[in-house]
Amino acid sequence: MLRGDVLTTATADPTTTTVARDFTDFRTVVSQSFVPLHVTSEHRDHFRGRIRSCGADEVQLTEVTASAHVVERTPELIARADRHYYKLSLILSGTGLLVQDNREAMLRPGDVALYDTNRPYTLAFEEDFRTLVVMFPQRLIDLPRDLVGQLTAVPMSGKHGMGNVVVPFLAQLGSNLDQLGGPAGVRLAHTAVDLLATLFASELDLARATAGPHHELMRRVLAYIDANLSSTDLGPAQIAAEHYISTRHLHGLFHEQGTTVSSWIRTRRLEHCRRELLDPVHASRPVAAIAAKWGFVDAPHFSRVFKTEFGRSPSELRRGLTVSERLLPPSA
């Protein structure tokens, strides 16, 4: 399909490939593929760009190959958004400079870096490059936002430590984007996000000496909650007692994160239910059984809070997932 100077390929392959031979069209496609961005280039006359993308559930992987340019996420563009995402870039060739939160990360092939679409950032490429971008809702990461915020614009190498495990997986997934549109697509997407969460946790552990005591306590509390989500007794009193703190102190920790203990538990339970409802492995399992597994003993209550959180009831989500819905909406 040819529109202006943009060639978009849509075949049985679940991936979408857009080839731009004009900078103006490339700028438009970039904002449609991710979140609205301000894109500039000093090489407009000879600009070339290609964007290849596929997604599953709410996770999108996009390979960008292009000439030198700069993208900016400005306060004005952020003000129009109502959904919060993290993006992670894996540089495959060339270099990129990421600036966010008063930090700069010079990225070379094999490096990854995280950035938050809800805060201003700049990503500059001074030469031809190729990068893989993973974009996903912030709620999919089970770490406090203030801790994850310590990692924005921090280069993480794919050549050692946990990066040597996670980066090759992402690179392989990027080379096989069509797999995200297949039966195992949702599982692959969630695996990618879980691996990223593990990478972030590893990076934060390495920096634990500089973190405050509240951060360490909060990490242990969240790990305990995730390990006990299926327990109907899970609540502030049990969590506080397990960590030898008062319930007031516990509530204070969550208040610092802009949430509450009960909201965090409910969100984590709902996310686990959502994953299982989308997983073909659990297709024959009743909705009520999945809800009960994750601590929701009242089925009507579960359906109500699920629809409030995700916009669709559990049964609607199960029936309505299509290939097109696996991609993030362009207006996100």
Q: Please give the full DSSP string across 276-331, using - where no structure is assigned.
A: HHH-GGGTTS-HHHHHHHTT---HHHHHHHHHHHHSS-HHHHHHH--TGGGSPPTT
Domain with CATH 1.10.10.60 in the chain: 213-324
Q: What is the model's pLDDT at position 210?
A: 47
When the candidates are 2.60.120.10, 3.10.20.340, 3.30.750.24, 2.40.50.140, the CATH number that belongs to 16-210 is: 2.60.120.10
Average pLDDT of the residues of the chain = 87
Residues 6+ apart with CB under 8 A from 8: 1, 2, 16, 17, 18, 19
Between 196 and 210, the higher pLDDT residue: 196
For the segment 247-253, the average pLDDT, to the nearest whole number, is: 92
For 81-116, the pLDDT digits (tens) are 878 899 999 999 999 999 999 999 999 999 999 999
Residue 284 clears pLDDT 60, i.e. is over it? yes
Residue 322 clears pLDDT 50, i.e. is over it? no
Q: Which segments of 2-157 does DSSP mark as H helices, in order?
A: 23-33, 75-79, 145-148
CA dist., res. 286 & res. 21, Å (int): 50
Q: What is the model's pLDDT at position 44?
A: 86
For the segment 235-256, the average pLDDT, to the nearest whole number, is: 92
For 53-85, the pLDDT digits (tens) are 999 888 999 999 999 999 999 999 999 887 889
For the segment 230-252, the average pLDDT, to the nearest whole number, is: 92
Do the Cβ atoms of 6 and 24 come closer than 8 Å? no
At position 146, the amino acid (one-letter code) is D
Is this prediction's pTM over 0.85? no
Residue 170 clears pLDDT 50, i.e. is over it? yes
List the Cα angle 243/247/248 in 5-degree steps: 125
Q: What is the model's pLDDT at position 62?
A: 96
- Confidence band for 213, pLDDT divided at 50, 70 and 90: low
CA dist., res. 48 & res. 109, Å (int): 20
CATH class of the structural domain 213-324: mainly alpha
Q: What is the model's pLDDT at position 204?
A: 83
Residue 235 clears pLDDT 80, i.e. is over it? yes
Domain with CATH 2.60.120.10 in the chain: 16-210
Residue 288 clears pLDDT 90, i.e. is over it? yes
